[in-house]
Structure 1
Amino acid sequence: MTIRIALIGFGKIARDQHVPSIAADPHFELVAVTSRSGETADGVPCFADLGALLAAMPGQIDAVAICTPPDVRHAIAADALDAGLAVLLEKPPTATLGEIEDLVQRAAACGQPLHASWHSQHAPTVRAAAALLRGTVVRRLRITWREDVRKWHSGQEWIWEPGGFGVFDPGINALSIATAILPERLIVRAADLQLPGNRQTPIAADLTFAGEDFSAAFDWRHQGDEERTIEIETTTNRHIKLGDSGASLFVDGIAHPVEPRAEYPSIYARFAELVAAGQSDVDVEPLRIVADALLLARRTMVEPFVWTAGE
């Protein structure tokens, strides 16, 4: 069965990742797009919102992939589930834990598949790292996720608004990998957030977790090459390092062979399995860690952030 899917929201991630992944997967056919700008994929009809799409194409949609900013995903996903559609959520799945819990309940009541996709969990090293750590005791965890917000989110004002996550937008990718590979649950003990004086969400964050030496550092002010690494030491003195957002894996300093990166094709392969089986797959742990950090956080105001000099 071909799954007729619509993209809800048509920004950079939808254009660059979802469209080619759908086109390459024989299980799917892209049949519609919603976009406030009117931009769409070649030959695919565009609508202002999900309501307009459903009114124009009754019975012609099986699933939606929601690629909007997180603060509006809950309402869209709820409407899609109520309309009898399978739902794929970009990361983070919603702006709050209450929203994702509501969607899980709705999906079960409607009998529709719901998938909260974490693309970094589909990085080529994640399964291998999880296997290496299974049954071990971790002594040290160091997550470092530093990049330049001007490069990766240029002009995207929504990231600085409540529900936009700030530096946790990329940081949650690291947390999604950590929760997928670690043999134990991450419990936040302390969080220090740095907020620009003119913004609502953090530009940098340092987290401390329960454990002997467990921490994470996220920073959007980084210049030069990105630093996205997860380093783990076990009580048996094994050292595991995931680099480049999970694209490389080193075990005791030796490079481990990995497959080429294909995160979004892997997401759609998983979604096809869930639709065929009528099942849901919703991992809430990365969002839970961010929520816990925000509950515990000490907040420090730092210099205002502007996109360009003289702004």
Structure 2
Amino acid sequence: MPQRWVATAPGGPQVLALEKYDVPPPGPGEVTIEVRAAGVNPADIKHIGRGDPADFPMPVGYEVAGVVTALGPGTAFSIGDEVVAYRVTGGWATALTVPAADVFSKPARLSFEAAANLLLVGATASEMLDVTGVAAGDTILVHAASGAVGVSVLQQAALLGAQVVGTASERNFDVVRRYGGIPVAYGDGLEQRVRDAAPDGVAAALDCIGTDEAVDVSLAVVAERSRIVTIAAGHRAEPDGIRHIAGAKPASKAYRDRIRPHLVALAAAGQLDVPVARTYPLADALDAVEVVLGQHPGGKLALIP
């Protein structure tokens, strides 16, 4: 019988439970997907940490890759098509039914595990570059450049013709270099290291980690505060006059929905890679959550039903 993970109440990982459930048949404009891999993101857990208790139990998981097994009227897919889907509700599952508008052909170059982790970080990275107006010839600062969003930023910035100075721990410098960035180490003296790495100045800063150090150094090296964006330090946005984006905001959701086909096309053309560090059986989702929330996994994580 199909299974899925749900949050039984608002809270952290302790509220997650694996349950059996009946997958609804697809209605008009819907498809059913047999999940081959589900992406694991901090956002999956942040989403269940708040909300009206009346809305629970709540299915967990925003993105999947799999195979179409059933079609509702008015859909362009075929049974057996390999697909990715984002943003979905309840992706940590063996199967689910979703709107076909959120489903895209899986890039053949990507494994199911990589494809299941393409769109959430890819859309976030793309929006960060968009709102800061990054263009060819810019040198930009990316905090946490070796993390999941950072790696997508590195690749997409290179396609725009921008140079990235990326903060990382020294053990992850090779990751930053692999995707065309100039690595600099976190910690005391970061501002000067950034200035040394970008002697002609820094046009924009993209904060993927949310530390005070990241925001403070960004403010010091970027002249226009409108060209500083954070996805993790929302509390600094208003007092410091910088941008804060989040998937739940209407403008962010609209942009991320719009950019999905472009990201799929980049991946299909071999221009957007998704490093996968580890996979876990679906039943071991709590182990994956512990890693994604508490460590630097060195790439994306996927659940395998």
Instruction: Answer whether TM exceeds 0.5 for this pair.
Output: no
Q: What TM-score do the two structures reach when normalised by structure 1? A: 0.34
Q: What TM-score do the two structures reach when normalised by structure 2? A: 0.34
